[in-house]
Amino acid sequence: MKAALPVHSRRSLLRIGGALAGATLATPALARMTPPPRDVLVLGAGMAGLTAALALLRRGHRVTILEHQDRVGGRVLSLPLPDGMASEAGAGHFRGNMPWVLAYARHFGLPLIALNDGLPRYLVNGRVADAADLAAWPWPLHPQERRVSLSSTLNRYLGIHGLDTLTVLDPRWPDPWTIERLSSLSLSDLLRQAGASEAYVALLGAHAGPYTLASAALRIIPGLAYHFGDQNCYRILGGNERLPRALAAAIGPERIVLGDPVAAIDQGAGGSRSPHDPAVCSAETPWSPPFRRASLRTSRCGRPGRRPRRACSPGRCGATR
């Protein structure tokens, strides 16, 4: 029987990355609780795999990362431009409400560029105004909605419902009580119940892009919170891909095998051939439960459990940072 592993989303990366990064800063008391070193395979050298691998290494485990592509970074892909700048083909920016991404960037000394995508121009009910010119907004907003950014007001309305941006970005959200309480509400219902004016509802609808006012509130609140909860937007100077490359350099190129797709993980009875104990999967790979010692098939290594041949060269994983 084969089962697909979950792929980490941006939300889960926020949490998992946070938890693992937190582990790297373990206090002596926590370090004493660390289990004995083990051999761990990490599948996928995207942000989830790299942050997991670094955290495991710092806890004393031996790690090997197997990566399908000839590069690290996964969906973080920067295309260099002639003037030293970069065009982002994958993850384009991160926000102030992604504290662990910011912490990693700071840790590796990567310079940030501040972007501002929070100041669009609105066309609502036949009137146009700039988000930057809050004082002159022509719409009949409630007094408490005036001279305040749309996102601040959204946070206030979420707060009235007992929600905040950090809570709703937790993968465990929503709890059963919240599901029961909010499941029949659309976004516009939620705003109106919190006291929003019709003008504010229309403005948020104009801002919300793929989220419509009729969308089920429970489904879109995390996306809204992510995009509006914090309007401070950043990008890494020279390309966001510098972050996974810096992680790869810290992990060590000799621990990263590139161009070696994992075809399957066999955890059946014959699964004791792998020299590795547990595996961390950040990529979708056919997987046979239950979890035991894994025997591993990679397309190039051929034989299960064999030590992978191609180590990552410095140029490809950023060890020359």
Ligand X SMILES: Cc1cc2nc3c(=O)[nH]c(=O)nc-3n(C[C@H](O)[C@H](O)[C@H](O)COP(=O)(O)OP(=O)(O)OC[C@H]3O[C@@H](n4cnc5c(N)ncnc54)[C@H](O)[C@@H]3O)c2cc1C
At position 52, the amino acid (one-letter code) is A
Q: Mask 206-245, x = binds ligand X (CB under 6 A)?
A: ----------------------------------------
Of the candidate residues 44, 174, 205, 318, the single one contacting ligand X (CB under 6 A) = 44
* DSSP labels, 102-153: HHHHHHTTPPEEEE--S--EEEETTEEEETT-GGG--S---GGGTTS-HHHH
**Site residues (CB under 6 A) for ligand X, limited to 250-279:** 261-262
Contact predicate 18/100, CB 8 Å: yes
Residue closer to ligand X (CB basis): 158 or 283: 283
Report the DSSP pairing between strands 78-80 and 256-257. Answer: unpaired
The Cα–Cα gap between 206 and 91 comes to: 24
> Which listed range, 84-92, 186-194, 216-224, 267-275, lies at the site for ligand X (CB under 6 A)?
84-92
Q: Give the SS3 label for residue 223.
A: helix
Of the candidate residues 69, 149, 167, 186, the single one contacting ligand X (CB under 6 A) = 69
Residue of 209, 189, 196, 120 lying closest to 156 (CA atoms): 196
CB of 92 to ligand X, least distance (A): 4
Of the candidate residues 2, 22, 34, 75, the single one contacting ligand X (CB under 6 A) = 75
Residue closer to ligand X (CB basis): 76 or 110: 76
Q: Which residues of 161-209 form beta strands (DSSP E)? A: none
**Site residues (CB under 6 A) for ligand X, limited to 10-39:** 10, 13
CB of 142 to ligand X, least distance (A): 32
| Residue 283 engages ligand X in binding (rule: CB under 6 A) | yes
* DSSP labels, 117-130: -S--EEEETTEEEE
Contact predicate 300/259, CB 8 Å: yes
CB of 237 to ligand X, least distance (A): 16
**Site residues (CB under 6 A) for ligand X, limited to 125-184:** none
Of the candidate residues 41, 48, 56, 246, the single one contacting ligand X (CB under 6 A) = 48
> Which listed range, 91-99, 121-129, 302-310, 312-320, lies at the site for ligand X (CB under 6 A)?
91-99
| Residue 92 engages ligand X in binding (rule: CB under 6 A) | yes
The DSSP element (H or E) to which 16 belongs, if any, is helix 10-24
CB of 228 to ligand X, least distance (A): 14
The number of beta carbons lying within 10 Å of the beta carbon of residue 49 is 28
Residue of 269, 251, 285 lying closest to 64 (CA atoms): 251
Residues in contact with ligand X by the rule CB under 6 A: 8, 10, 13, 43-49, 66-69, 74-76, 90-94, 261-262, 282-283, 285
